């Protein structure tokens, strides 16, 4: 049995073996030479699992980092952006993640105070347009 934990200030996800209480893996996406810092991994949020993958919102990267949950390695970083009125719009500060009926939903940290966050983006894992 394992426990996956987001460590915000280390910009990583730690996998802990619950039988031995030992860290078995520290996960971070690769940082490209053209980027400054760990933007894609910066401040990971909640973790949702589906289809053998772990989906981790990147608070400062405006993206979802996707890991292979079995092999415990990085698969891809999916930017949360879409064209709106001719402009490229990004989700600001994605934070929470949940799986429901084969879809991953991500909510923004800035969706409101003292309110239930609205679901702002769904990734249909069966959608041929989603490249995982």
Per-residue pLDDT tens over the stretch 82-115? 666 666 656 667 788 888 888 888 877 765 554 4
Least confident of 22-26, 43-47, 62-66, 87-91: 87-91
Q: What's the pLDDT score for residue 96? A: 83
Q: What pTM does this model have?
A: 0.77
The 3-state DSSP class for residue 19 equals coil
Alpha carbon distance 105, 96 (integer Å): 8
Query: Rg (Cα) of the chain, in Å, rounded?
Result: 15
Cα angle value 76/77/81 (rounded, 5°): 140
Of residues 128 and 40, the one with the higher pLDDT is: 40
CA proximity to 5, closest of 26, 34, 36: 26
Closest CA to 78 of 64, 92, 88: 64
Comparing 82 with 48, the larger pLDDT belongs to: 48
């Amino acid at each position: 049995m394992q426990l996956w934990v987001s460590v915000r200030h280390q910009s990583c996800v730690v996998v802990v073996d619950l039988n031995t209480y030992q860290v078995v893996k520290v996960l971070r996406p690769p940082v490209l030479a053209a980027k400054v810092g760990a933007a894609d991994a910066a401040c990971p949020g909640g973790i949702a699992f589906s289809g053998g993958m772990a989906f981790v919102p990147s608070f400062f990267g405006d993206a979802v980092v996707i890991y292979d949950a079995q092999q415990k390695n990085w698969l891809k970083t999916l930017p949360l952006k879409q064209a709106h009125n001719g402009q490229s719009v990004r989700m600001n500060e994605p934070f929470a993640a949940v799986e429901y009926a084969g879809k991953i939903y991500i909510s923004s940290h800035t969706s409101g105070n003292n309110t239930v966050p609205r679901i702002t983006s769904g990734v249909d894992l069966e959608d041929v347009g989603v490249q995982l």
